[in-house]
């Protein structure tokens, strides 16, 4: 389809990011949270991740994972949608 692999994570790789122009797609071959009852996994990237996290906490959204800096270079969290699917939301960490 013309996507370029931007990164892979894990040994062996179980998570990857790809791009095609301005489109970014993250895919995963595993579900990182044991209680993930849905089968979907979506990741959204944008800058105001901390503000949005606080809004979702105040709205009593159910989380798979709290916000924190990750070893794969993102500051992110994961929520559970009404069907149990995982939605990851994050921002790229600044490189030193």
Residues 10, 37: Cα–Cα separation, whole Å: 23
Q: Does residue 46 lie within any of the structural domains?
A: yes
Domain count, the chain: 1
How far is CA 90 from each of CA 1, 2, 12, rounded to the nearest angstrom? Answer: 25, 25, 23
Q: Does residue 70 lie within any of the structural domains?
A: yes
Q: Does residue 8 lie within any of the structural domains?
A: yes
pTM, entire model? 0.67
The residue segments making up the domain with residue 80 are 4-28+38-92
pLDDT per residue over 54-83, tens digit each?
999 999 999 999 999 999 899 999 998 877
Residue 65: CATH number of its domain:
3.30.720.110
Q: Does residue 33 lie within any of the structural domains?
A: no
Q: Does residue 76 lie within any of the structural domains?
A: yes
């Amino acid at each position: 389809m013309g996507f370029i692999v931007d990164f892979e994570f894990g040994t062996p790789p179980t998570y990857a990011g790809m791009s095609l122009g301005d489109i970014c797609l993250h895919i995963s071959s595993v579900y990182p949270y044991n209680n993930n009852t849905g089968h979907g996994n979506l990741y959204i990237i944008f800058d105001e991740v901390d503000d949005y996290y606080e809004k979702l906490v105040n709205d009593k959204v159910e989380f798979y994972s709290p916000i924190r800096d990750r070893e794969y270079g993102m500051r992110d969290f994961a929520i559970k949608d009404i069907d149990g699917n995982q939605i990851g939301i994050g921002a790229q960490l600044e490189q030193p």
